[in-house]
Structure 1
Amino acid sequence: MSVRIGVLFVLLFIFIHVLLTSAQNRDIVYLQALMDNLHNTPPNWVGSDPCVEKWDGISCIESRVTSITLSSIGLSGELSGDIGQLSELQTLDLSYNKDLTGSLTPDIGSLKKLSNLILVGCGFNGPLPETLGSLTQLGYLALNSNGFTGPIPPSIGKLSKLYWLDLADNKLSGPIPVSKGPTPGLDQLVNIKHFHFGKNKLSGEIPPRLFSSKMSLKHVLFEENQLTGTVPLTLGLVQNLEVLRLDRNLFSGEVPSNINNLTSLNQLYLSNNNFEGPLPNLTGMKILNYLDMSNNSFQPSEIPPWLSSLQSLTTLMMQDTGLIGEVPVDLFSIPQIETVVLRNNQLNGTLDFGDSYSNHLHFIDMTNNLISGYTERSRYSADLILISNPICRESDTTASYCDLPIDSNSSYSTPQNNCNPETTCTSDQVSSPNCKCSYPYTGTLTFRAPSFSNLGNSTIYTSLQSSMMVSFQSNHLPVDSLSLSQPTKNSDKYLEINLAVFPSGGERFNRSGISQIGFILSNQTYKPPHSFGPYFFLGHNYDFFADATKRKGKSIGIGVTIGVVVGGCVLVLLLIIAGIYAFREKGRAERATKKNSPFASWDPDKGGGDCPQLKGARSFTYEELKTCTNNFAITANIGSGGYGMVYRGTLRNGQLVAVKRAQLRSTQGGLEFKTEIELLSRVHHKNVVGLVGFCFDEGEQMLVYEFIVNGTLKDSLSGRSGIRLDWMRRLKIILGAARGLQYLHDLADPPIIHRDVKTTNILLDERLNAKVADFGLSKPLGDADRTHVTTQVKGTMGYMDPEYYMTQQLTEKSDVYSFGIVMLELITARNPIEKGKYIVREVKEAMDREKDLYNLREVLDPIIGLTHELQGLERFVDIALRCVEDTGNQRPRMNEVVKEIESIMELAGFNPNAESASASESYEGKSKGSGHPYLNESLFSYSGGLLDSNLEAK
């Protein structure tokens, strides 16, 4: 009897399910399945019909879901394969939800009617599925600013209707696919207008087949990849091209001569490659605005006369391009010219702007040339830099052009509209340009190739604001006003502007309003003024919805079909739902407990899902560390810091360790500590101090590091350690430190910016091998911020990157700057700032490239100056000074620094891959243990630790 009842209940349940799925809204089941893998979905996602009940972000036609747009609402979780069952879906936009992770399901290829796939600024990763090629109706594909890896699927070439393809700012690698036989390729996209592939790891040559005269391309963006070879001649066939970025690759050979055929080009970036031969003749580019050919290996030549014929030019960037001779006067009379950067060339003579120079001229940089004179003009008021020219070196001039100018970034902010400000706004409210206190939707507008460079011109921002308001109003969005602020050029030469959009009809947006605004920006419905060029937007999560209460359950409404089911079935169904609800609530409670106490259910002997995912580090009990430090004895104490004490200890296996023990008042949350040790445990390199383990026991938080016996590089340079370092030993040490930093930048997962590179954070082991130490201020580059981390300024004065100090944008090039200071400290044994003198300025003022050792004997450490011939010193100084360039894009990457130091060592007759000799056997002196390297700000400092990057970015 009981079996029959059970079978009856199963049949009734199946009957109800069939009734539900065959009702007017057949997509409810698939949306519910999607919700099982998503968190923080809109609270009104309940009921039986998302179309009738108007679920936030869902649009329908005839009771079928055709659009899902959910921008910036804090969605998290993964996109399950159930998305492929929404067969009528035409638009999917989940942009700006950075906690959406996991791979992009291959089932996405089942959406045969999809025309817009937009996943900008999420946390997706893994390879792009080949099934993308099945989306035959797709016109707009934007997957930029995620963490996608692997090759570009050749199947994308089958999307004949595609006009927008943005895969930028990911980790895509491999060659650019083109068609071959039955295999499709990107060359088949003849209707495409946008190739956005910048900031990936694409390699190989650009196939000549990629371009043809059939294409209608407007933007080709390949910046910051690893592309090699020559630029194909077929590029000159793309007559409609407006923006071309090939900068920061490994291109070589001559620039193709027929590039001059691109007469519609507005912006051309060729910088930071290995181009050779003569400068390309660009006479035909009559409407070119922005030209950057810097940092290439062109043949030495005078400034070509055709430059003055480019009457629309606003920006000329030709630093380090082999220019010689005098600067022609008519170069500055180009009507629209704003910026001229010709630093690091061999330009000579007297600089003269003439009487008819452009009224727009605002910045000229002639640093490090051979300019011997300057004809001043009374009207001229722009910034001029002539540092490291004879005119500044050979006299005691105090002229402003012989000093660094004030930061050129603009502090522009949209003014208020002649209104009376609200008397009080709450702490999280903002006063709009119309003087209304409200909660704005914020984010960053990033323009990849603006045609102007003068960020101080407020007129351009006024036009941007006006055009954006017109777009919002014409699309009937609930926007009262908007504000633009802090325009900044970042290290990618992108223009970034903060955007705040204020709601109309109240002080908050609802989810529908946020999604509409996000979609207008994510699918490029809004078109900025032409001078701003291609852009993308990264919105922040909107945390101010009026309905703060989250959805408690995921019940499936039964609608009108309940009437066909007997009362007993309703009771059974309710019981089932109640059971599911209770089970899920229990799971939520357990997850909340784990969040507050992440180690609560972890048995170190058995392991399990709650233990940190450690790679090489182990968990210590409090008693173990108490024993190995002799009960944290005073004699074992080797220093203290703001976080607490550091103790020397000996493990049972005899290994020496340094134990960092946090004070109770400085300990961070358990979840943060767990995440932190998971990150550090992944760092394994012979030139990086290793994390041996940790302790999270009896209320203690401790980190256990390997003990490095010979102290810091600073100790040896100052003489405190008693170790004498000759030229060879210094090269070995600096190479090891460079390799350690390169590992953190390029091979650690996720990549790590150290943020406090200095000689006290480079340790020397028993064989004087260098090890980078102290990650107390370090920052990981997550999937959403792979270019930079916006964070409060921290570090050590003298070593700190001035660009980071001014912009608060931390990049790997900030470490490169600090490393350059370390290199100069290595050869001078001087502090970065000593008696008010800065080591960079001291070296540059003493330098004379025409003399032996660059005339630096007066500033060199006598220990290396007396013992050996300093072979390779000049090249060493050159790379050090490249590292301390004012802006990050002028500095090399750490892998370039490593290669150059290796080359210097080989030139000096040293083997860069040989192990250092034992300090006890072949080095003079003996480590005196004066202090210890583990004493700087620690990982335990939450405000400066590895985990606050997202908090500070907000």
Structure 2
Amino acid sequence: MMGTKIGQLLVIICVNISIISAQNNDLTILQALKDAWQNTPPNWGDGSDPCGGSWDGITCTNGRVTKITLASMQLVGDLPGDIGQLSELRILDLSYNKGLTGSLTSQVGNLRKLTHLFLVGCGFTGPIPGTIGNIERLISLSLSSNSFTGPIPASVGNLTNLYWLDLTANKLTGNIPVSNKITPSGLDMLTLARHFHLGDNQLSGDIPPRLFNSNMTLIHLLLENNKLTGAIPSTLGLVTSLEVVRLDRNSLSGVVPSNINNLFNIQQMYLSHNQLTGPAPNLIGMNVLNYIDLSNNSFDPSEVIPPWFSTLQALTTIKMYNANLGGVLPASLFNIPQLQIVDLRSNGINGTLNISSNPSTELQLVDLRDNKITDFIQRSQCCIGLILIDNPICSSDATEEFCSLPQNATALYSTPWNNCLPPSCGAGLVSSPNCRCANPYTGSIFFKAPSFSSLTNSTIYGSFHDSLMTFFHKASLPVDSLSLNNPRRNVDDYLVIDLHIFPDLEPSFNRTGVLALAFAFSNQTFQPSKEFNTYFFIPEPYNFMLAISGTKHKSSNAGTIIGSTVGGCMLVVLFVLAGIYAFRQKQRAAQWSQPFALWDQTSKSGDVPQVKGARSFTFQELQKYTNNFSEMNNIGIGGYGMVYKGRLPNGQMIAIKRAQKGSSQGVLEFKTEIELLSRVHHKNVVGLIGFCFDQGEQMLVYEYIVNGTLKDSLSGRSGIKLDWVWRLKIALGAARGLQYLHDHADPPIIHRDVKTNNILLDQRLVAKVADFGLSKPLSDANSTHVTTQVKGTMGYMDPEYYMTQQLTEKSDTYSFGVVMLELITARNPIEKGKYIVREVKEAMDKNRELYSLHEILDPTIGLRSQLIGLERFVDLALRCVEDKINQRPTMSEVVKELERILELAGFNPGTESSSSTSTSYEGVSKDHNYPSSNDSLFCYSPGSLPPKLHPM
């Protein structure tokens, strides 16, 4: 008996020792995480017990760490393998920390009790480790918006409890894994999964027929924007639970399976931008279908409109442009109650257009340009946005409104003020809809398959606003109000809305509040209505430095006594601080009047810069505006040094070029740019706000240019997609900027480094010439050239300047001609040993359509019928790149010819810099001003958000 009790006691002791050992191990692992990361919450370093409830983002049960939720904390570092030792961890959420980089450790596979893994919007790279298939309890796996490469591990098929699989917006390659005799696991094994979100990657090969079976419960199949080939498998028709199918923007071919209409629960279906053939699919019976896009396919030419056009009464949107449609549109199509958008451009639709006398009250746009319509019988009754350009009805002398593009964009939805007058807010704060100055948590929410197209419907967006506020209140989140702004469609046809979430009571959210908000989005705790459907959220880094904390305590006698004592001391302190402030203000005034008192004229930096009108900043000011030059505010790097994003106290966004210390080249560029840019002011030249020459630092402060460089847009890195008219407008804007430098600056300025990397695009895609580090002024107004050392960028450089070292204004003309050729080809000036100028000259044939340049034109520029004036544009570009200077036009002549080309294309060149009247080929806007069509022209893929923006 005694032995039995001793044995039981020993077991209890051993168990307790084991528990204590495990708890201590968890604390050691958390300390390892703290050591591996920068910007961990401040209370992680206060010596308290992480499981005592005092470490932000850490939740424990019985002394063991069970949750780590650190979304939106601006963490920097990698994920150490130590994480795999947290054996009781159930939830790991590190989303929205772009500074978390490196590969995802294979040790994550040791987290056998993990049910939710969220790493959305981080900076992870490399392959997804195969060990992830060991986490068999996993329910949600969200790794979207990173830079993961390599194939999807087949071992994901082992996660048989998985409900949510989201790998969107990475760089994943290879085939979609399915089980077979060699590999026993694959995505086909995930019969409980409801969501396959695999879009915006580089997946290739066929869609395996084995991927689908009748046991699946999928509701969302999202494979958009990959490199998939082959036919759509007929097995897709077996998954009758599907509500959203996105197979668009691939290279799928063959006939759409005849059993596609077995998917009677489908609400949104996108098959556009593929190479599908055969007859247009039969969608009869898909009675809840509201959004259909079959555009840009090669269906068999039809002489009859498909019968389902007027039978699917749930439709809000039908897009079938460039799909070989023919026949007469039935008037009953326009009677569909919720119909908003009909986009049937570039087809063979003919006969008389008959829009019912009582069309849908929701109807906003009917785009039928480039068809064969001969008449329209409801002209006086139609009030919708109707476009019939390039139809026989629109002859050269036609004056009807529908024979030109709408000139004014409809105002998009924005949350109204709540019966109050917004105050003027400073110190980085903005006014909430309730007219309180606060520091909001901001970001963009991306809806992958909404059921509607409208960007202006206040009822829809107001309902979403109310449902989100209701969620915040029910979840007891400290939210006072919310504003929605700038709804738009991006290149993936996602609906994007900007959110500003304002804190309750205090001017700023504390870390606990931000953690709760971020987790609500990353974990999909907030579930929008069916109209909006599935989403992901990408926030902006939150500036905790703006937080104003203050805890109120009940008064007491002791508090009164202590307060009196402290108050007396504070008076003394205030006098001291006032003296210090006055002294610093005096120093600052001296610095303003003589900002270059310490300029070293004996070095290679030359004489003291002569600056007009630019503001002088102190180092401390710019340090504050950039959150101490944090990694999260780093938006680029160049030969000059790092570039940081910041915000002035008045709310203006700025970009700061910080020179590398000890760089003589940087000092020269610094002097050149502040001297030149402080004297020039033009809407097509990037604006210099100020500079810093303080504490050994040389920094240039510019206006913040939202949409990066023209090079980024042409290469696809920014996600902006430019159609032909927008390229013309950008060319004209940049030309006007150069013309101003040559003809109106005092003294005239030769840029010397004109290239697509030095042309920036602002929020309205207005072109701005930037980077004046190599520029040269013509000190004598009568001078024709400057003799100087050859500098510039190969491929853009004037050959005569290269040979003679004589720099002229027409050296910029030559470089601009190369930019023009780059605009139409999207090719680098020198690529694989081939020079763009020579390639265009050798390929062109002036006796053929578009000079026979089809093979080298950028395929995203638009349809052939839209490239009005391209031949004149090419002629002008080749005049600019003539070898002899006297054969090149001046930039003033270039501007005039570009204006004529724009007029030829049907646009007023006098307004192109400030507004848009063009719709892109299929584009969508990022976040600012929009053309008249509901399809706007900025095209951002979610993987690029938030993008690396280029201020200069």
Give the TM interval when normalised to the shorter protein: 0.5 to 0.7
Counterpart of 1:413? 414
Instruction: Confirm or deny: 8 A CA contact 2:118 2:141 kept in the other structure.
Output: yes
Cα 1:539–1:133 shift into 2, 3 Å: same
The answer as to 2:542 corresponding to 1:455 is no
Mapped to 2, the partners of 1:541 and 1:833 lie a distance apart of: 41
**Amino acid in the other structure paired with 1:500:** H
The C-alpha deviation readout for 1:317-373, integer Å capped at 9, x for no partner, is 011111122222111111211110111011122211122321211110011111121
The C-alpha deviation readout for 1:394-447, integer Å capped at 9, x for no partner, is 4x23222111114656422112333x4464432422222223222111110111
Residue identity (%): 45
Cα 1:359–1:20 shift into 2, 3 Å: closer
Counterpart of 2:430? 430
Cα 1:672–1:889 shift into 2, 3 Å: farther
Counterpart of 1:492? 492
Cα 1:347–1:841 shift into 2, 3 Å: farther
SS at match of 1:235: helix
Counterpart of 1:255? 256
Cα 1:623–1:509 shift into 2, 3 Å: closer
Mapped to 2, the partners of 1:213 and 1:291 lie a distance apart of: 24
**Amino acid in the other structure paired with 2:97:** N
1:54-133 alignment, distance < 5 Å: 54-133=54-133
SS at match of 1:517: helix
1:688-699 alignment, distance < 5 Å: none
Counterpart of 1:842? 904
Mapped to 2, the partners of 1:889 and 1:67 lie a distance apart of: 43
Instruction: Confirm or deny: 8 A CA contact 1:191 1:216 kept in the other structure.
Output: yes
The C-alpha deviation readout for 1:652-701, integer Å capped at 9, x for no partner, is xxxxxxxxxx999799977999xx99x99xx9xxxx9999xx999xxxx9
Counterpart of 2:355? 353
Counterpart of 2:590? none
The C-alpha deviation readout for 1:122-146, integer Å capped at 9, x for no partner, is 1111111101101111111111111
Instruction: Confirm or deny: 8 A CA contact 2:869 2:901 kept in the other structure.
Output: no
Mapped to 1, the partners of 2:357 and 2:113 lie a distance apart of: 62
Counterpart of 2:393? 391
**Amino acid in the other structure paired with 2:33:** L
1:591-670 alignment, distance < 5 Å: none
Instruction: Confirm or deny: 8 A CA contact 2:345 2:371 kept in the other structure.
Output: yes
Mapped to 1, the partners of 2:629 and 2:923 lie a distance apart of: 49
Cα 1:833–1:816 shift into 2, 3 Å: farther
The answer as to 2:239 corresponding to 1:227 is no
The answer as to 2:359 corresponding to 1:336 is no
Instruction: Confirm or deny: 8 A CA contact 1:410 1:486 kept in the other structure.
Output: no
Instruction: Confirm or deny: 8 A CA contact 1:385 1:404 kept in the other structure.
Output: yes
Instruction: Confirm or deny: 8 A CA contact 1:140 1:163 kept in the other structure.
Output: yes
Instruction: Confirm or deny: 8 A CA contact 1:193 1:216 kept in the other structure.
Output: yes
SS at match of 2:248: coil
The answer as to 2:199 corresponding to 1:194 is no
The answer as to 2:78 corresponding to 1:31 is no
The C-alpha deviation readout for 1:463-493, integer Å capped at 9, x for no partner, is 1111111212222211122111111112221
SS at match of 1:444: strand
Counterpart of 1:889? 922
The answer as to 2:575 corresponding to 1:542 is no
Greater displacement, 399-408 / 512-521: 399-408
Cα 1:405–1:644 shift into 2, 3 Å: closer
Cα 1:32–1:838 shift into 2, 3 Å: farther
SS at match of 1:462: helix
The answer as to 2:361 corresponding to 1:299 is no
Cα 1:397–1:54 shift into 2, 3 Å: same
Counterpart of 1:175? 175
Mapped to 2, the partners of 1:643 and 1:737 lie a distance apart of: 33
1:454: how far off? Answer: 1.6
SS at match of 1:460: helix
Mapped to 1, the partners of 2:504 and 2:691 lie a distance apart of: 45
Mapped to 2, the partners of 1:111 and 1:83 lie a distance apart of: 8
1:824: how far off? Answer: 3.6
Cα 1:81–1:284 shift into 2, 3 Å: same
Mapped to 1, the partners of 2:827 and 2:142 lie a distance apart of: 36
The answer as to 2:464 corresponding to 1:402 is no
Mapped to 1, the partners of 2:365 and 2:841 lie a distance apart of: 47
The C-alpha deviation readout for 1:74-104, integer Å capped at 9, x for no partner, is 1111111111111111111111111211111
**Amino acid in the other structure paired with 1:361:** L
Cα 1:358–1:624 shift into 2, 3 Å: closer
Counterpart of 2:571? none
1:474-553 alignment, distance < 5 Å: 474-544=474-544
**Amino acid in the other structure paired with 2:428:** D
Counterpart of 2:318? 316
Give the counterpart of 1:829 among 850, 869, 876.
876
SS at match of 2:43: coil
Mapped to 2, the partners of 1:351 and 1:19 lie a distance apart of: 80
SS at match of 2:394: helix
Task: Please list every run of 5 or more consecutive structure 2 residues that lacks an aligned counterpart in the other structure.
Answer: 1-16, 550-627, 635-660, 681-687, 702-707, 716-754, 759-771, 775-788, 802-809, 844-857, 878-892, 908-916, 925-943
Counterpart of 2:186? 185
User: What TM-score results when the alignment is normalised by the length of structure 2?
Assistant: 0.63
Instruction: Confirm or deny: 8 A CA contact 1:245 1:268 kept in the other structure.
Output: yes
SS at match of 1:464: helix
Task: Please list every run of 5 or more consecutive structure 1 residues that lacks an aligned counterpart in the other structure.
Answer: 1-17, 550-591, 599-618, 627-631, 646-661, 713-719, 725-729, 748-761, 771-810, 846-883, 892-945
The C-alpha deviation readout for 1:563-615, integer Å capped at 9, x for no partner, is xxxxxxxxxxxxxxxxxxxxxxxxxxxxx9999xx9xxxxxxxxxxxxxxxxx
Cα 1:100–1:212 shift into 2, 3 Å: same
Instruction: Confirm or deny: 8 A CA contact 1:409 1:487 kept in the other structure.
Output: no
Mapped to 2, the partners of 1:356 and 1:426 lie a distance apart of: 51
The C-alpha deviation readout for 1:902-936, integer Å capped at 9, x for no partner, is xxxxxxxxxxxxxxxxxxxxxxxxxxxxxxxxxxx
**Amino acid in the other structure paired with 1:829:** L
User: What TM-score results when the alignment is normalised by the length of structure 1?
Assistant: 0.63
The answer as to 2:147 corresponding to 1:147 is yes
Aligned residues: 673
The answer as to 2:49 corresponding to 1:49 is yes
SS at match of 1:313: coil
1:526: how far off? Answer: 0.8
Instruction: Confirm or deny: 8 A CA contact 1:319 1:342 kept in the other structure.
Output: yes
SS at match of 1:487: strand
Instruction: Confirm or deny: 8 A CA contact 2:48 2:54 kept in the other structure.
Output: no
Mapped to 1, the partners of 2:629 and 2:439 lie a distance apart of: 32
The C-alpha deviation readout for 1:378-408, integer Å capped at 9, x for no partner, is 44321111111122224x2322211111465
